Amino acid sequence: MEKTKIILLGDNIVSNILKILLHKQKIDYVNLCLPKKNLETRFYAVKPTFYQWFEDNFKLPFSKFYPIKNIDIYFKQEKITLANEHSRPFSLFNMTKSDDIFQTIKHFNLDTAIEVNDIKVKTDINYISLIDQSIQGDLIINTDHRLNESLGVTEKVDNTQEFAIVAFFSSKTSLENKAHQYFYHNQILAILPFDDNKFSIVLSAKNDVIENLLSQSDQNFEKNIQKICGLSSISLLTERQSYPIFQSKVKKNNLSRIILMGDASHRVHPLAGQGLNLGFGDIADFNSLINQSSYHDYGKANFIKKYNIKRAADEMFIHYLTSTIDAMMIKQGDFFQPLMKLPAKVINNSNLIKKLLAEVMI
């Protein structure tokens, strides 16, 4: 039976950056994944602190990013503006294309993941193994939520009854490094620039609203987006992609020799753009524990417990934040949105509150 230190499951951004880390730390691993799908191009708002962490650890910058220096948040006609002055010397977010992240990963020339159709796990006090693949290791790290059930992971899934639409646009109006987020008629729309005249949207709403938007012609869909954001002469650059929004909480305290990262550990509403950033936090905290500990067996219960405790507060806060905002602005938006007028005015008049909000996002 083949033996390794870590059995890494999944083939995504989180698993690939984790491979870079394991390679650097000289930790043996085997990487398996479910049959691969065609990857869709996505844009992510990545915390600048992660870019710094990546460059400090691997001495290689990400290929490309577009810095967002201001974020305007609209509650109907009420606006909150977060700018550089509220977020220390650097910008709030960097917009990064998924293709560019994978291009950076390719610089490390790591082996590609091995495809499998399913996994069966056997756990012993001293090791964990994948029976069908005859692989034995100290620890399994799963980054693909689709494999949670096979690992015996208990996951409480919240079907929000919402969908999100993702699409790319161009505009004759310069975005000037500014993002916008609109809470509008029980919809949440994020305008995320990745070029001075190009931007990605993430629009989330209840199923019936999304179905109506998807049934519209491109021209009418453009008019709908323009009505909300006010940008002039916008043009749809891609087909509209839609996907259901699920949020989940995973029970981790009964897992033996298994650590969950990325989507396998947490699925949150996309409205705050924190899903991938939580995954990056998983990697950074795992690396921190490796550097601080003298463990030779990372599957030991104490090591896994320390990792789960280290990640719990971040996960809990983001899940609570996104669930609460979603409930206020979509599920019960007609009642709650008028109540946001006073808080918006209070926040805009307080640099301290703005700085605290920015701290959460970076």
Which residue is associated with the tokens 């494999």?
Answer: 147
Q: What pLDDT, on a 0 to 100 scale, did the predictor assign at position 362? A: 64
Which residue is associated with the tokens 């069908």?
Answer: 132
Residue 41, both tokens = 């191009």
Residue 319 lies in a domain: yes
Calpha distance 106→207 (Å, rounded): 38
Q: Is the pLDDT of residue 333 over 60?
A: no
Residue 304 lies in a domain: yes
Calpha distance 296→151 (Å, rounded): 23
* Percent of the chain whose predicted confidence (pLDDT) is above 70: 90
Residue 223 lies in a domain: no
CB atoms within 10 A of CB 144: 20
- DSSP, collapsed to helix, strand or coil, labels residue 53 as helix
Q: Average pLDDT in the 331-351 region?
A: 60
Calpha distance 324→277 (Å, rounded): 19
- DSSP, collapsed to helix, strand or coil, labels residue 78 as strand
Residue 135 lies in a domain: yes
Calpha distance 91→214 (Å, rounded): 34
Contacting residues for 124 by C-beta, under 8 A, at least 6 apart? none
**Amino acid in position 79:** K
Residue 208, both tokens = 């019936």
Q: Is the pLDDT of residue 335 over 60?
A: no
Say which CATH number the domain at 310 has. Answer: 3.50.50.60
Ranked by mean pLDDT, the top range of 24-33, 60-69, 79-88, 123-132 is: 24-33
Q: Is the pLDDT of residue 328 over 70?
A: no
Angle 192-196-201 from CA coordinates, rounded to 5°: 20
Q: What pLDDT, on a 0 to 100 scale, did the predictor assign at position 246? A: 82
The candidate with the shortest Cα–Cα distance to 11, out of 45, 34, 43, is 34
Calpha distance 67→91 (Å, rounded): 6
Q: Is the pLDDT of residue 162 over 80?
A: yes
Among the listed ranges 61-70, 78-87, 132-141, which one has the minimum average pLDDT value? 78-87
Calpha distance 125→177 (Å, rounded): 53
- Distance, CA of 220 to chain centre: 30
Q: Is the pLDDT of residue 160 over 80?
A: no
Q: Average pLDDT in the 1-24 region?
A: 94
For the whole model, what pTM was predicted?
0.89
pLDDT digits (tens, 9 = 90+) for 82-109: 887 776 656 778 899 999 999 999 999 9
- DSSP, collapsed to helix, strand or coil, labels residue 216 as coil
Q: Are 318 and 274 in contact (CB under 8 A)?
A: yes
**Amino acid in position 221:** F
Among the listed ranges 293-302, 303-312, 313-322, which one has the minimum average pLDDT value? 313-322
Residue 287 lies in a domain: yes
The candidate with the shortest Cα–Cα distance to 65, out of 88, 92, 38, is 92
Calpha distance 362→358 (Å, rounded): 6
Calpha distance 259→8 (Å, rounded): 10
Q: How is residue 331 annotated by DSSP?
A: I
Calpha distance 354→337 (Å, rounded): 20
Angle 300-305-307 from CA coordinates, rounded to 5°: 100
For the chain, the average pLDDT equals 86
342 band by pLDDT with thresholds 50, 70 and 90: low
Residue 198 lies in a domain: no
Domain ranges, residue 135:
1-35+113-153+252-328
Residue 275 lies in a domain: yes
* Percent of the chain whose predicted confidence (pLDDT) is above 90: 51
- DSSP, collapsed to helix, strand or coil, labels residue 3 as strand
Number of domains in the chain: 1
Q: Average pLDDT in the 74-86 region?
A: 77
Q: Average pLDDT in the 18-47 region?
A: 92
Q: What pLDDT, on a 0 to 100 scale, did the predictor assign at position 334? A: 52
Residue 264 lies in a domain: yes
pLDDT digits (tens, 9 = 90+) for 243-287: 888 888 888 777 899 999 999 998 887 766 788 999 999 999 999
The β-bridge relationship of strands 241-251 and 154-171 is antiparallel
Q: Are 72 and 179 in contact (CB under 8 A)?
A: yes
The candidate with the shortest Cα–Cα distance to 330, out of 240, 230, 213, 245, is 245
